[in-house]
C-alpha cells in the first residue's frame, strides 16, 4: 500500500513525473484553473473525485493508487 501523502506532495510528484514546470502547467494539463490547484495544494480545498479522474486520465495512474496515496484527504 502506498504511503499516504498530502495534496502538495501529490502535485509535486505529478509535476515531476509529467515533466511540467509549475502549478500553472499542472492546472492546464488537468484542465482546471491555477487557483483550484493552489487551493488544494494549500489545504484550503479538497482533492475531489473529479480531480482524481483528471489525474488518472492525464497520467495513467490508477484511481485506486491515487486514492490510496491521498488517504482521507480526498472528497467524494
Domain CATH number, residue 36 = 1.10.260.40
Quick check: is 11 in a domain?
yes
| pLDDT bucket at 75, cuts 50 / 70 / 90 | low
Domain count across the chain: 1
Kindly tell me if the per-residue pLDDT of 62 is higher than 70: yes
d(CA 27, CA 4): 22
Q: What is the pLDDT of residue 3?
A: 72
pLDDT at 11 over 90: yes
User: What is the Cα–Cα distance from 28 to 43, expressed in whole angstroms?
Assistant: 20
Please give the model's pTM, rounded to 2 decimal places. 0.85
pLDDT digits (tens, 9 = 90+) for 18-52: 999 999 999 999 999 999 999 999 999 999 999 99
Q: Is residue 2 part of a domain?
A: no
For helices 49-59 and 23-30, what crossing angle results, to 10°? 90
Could you give the angle at the alpha carbon of 45 between the alpha carbons of 1 and 4, nearest 5°? Answer: 15
How would residue 72 be classed by pLDDT, with cut points 50, 70 and 90?
low
Amino acid at each position: 500500500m502506498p504511503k499516504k501523502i498530502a495534496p502538495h506532495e501529490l502535485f509535486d510528484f505529478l509535476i515531476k513525473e509529467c515533466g511540467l514546470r509549475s502549478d500553472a502547467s499542472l492546472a492546464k494539463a488537468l484542465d482546471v484553473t491555477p487557483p483550484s490547484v493552489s487551493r488544494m495544494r494549500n489545504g484550503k480545498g479538497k482533492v475531489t473525485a473529479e480531480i482524481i479522474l483528471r489525474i488518472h486520465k492525464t497520467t495513467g495512474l490508477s484511481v485506486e493508487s491515487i486514492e490510496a496515496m491521498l488517504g482521507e484527504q480526498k472528497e467524494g
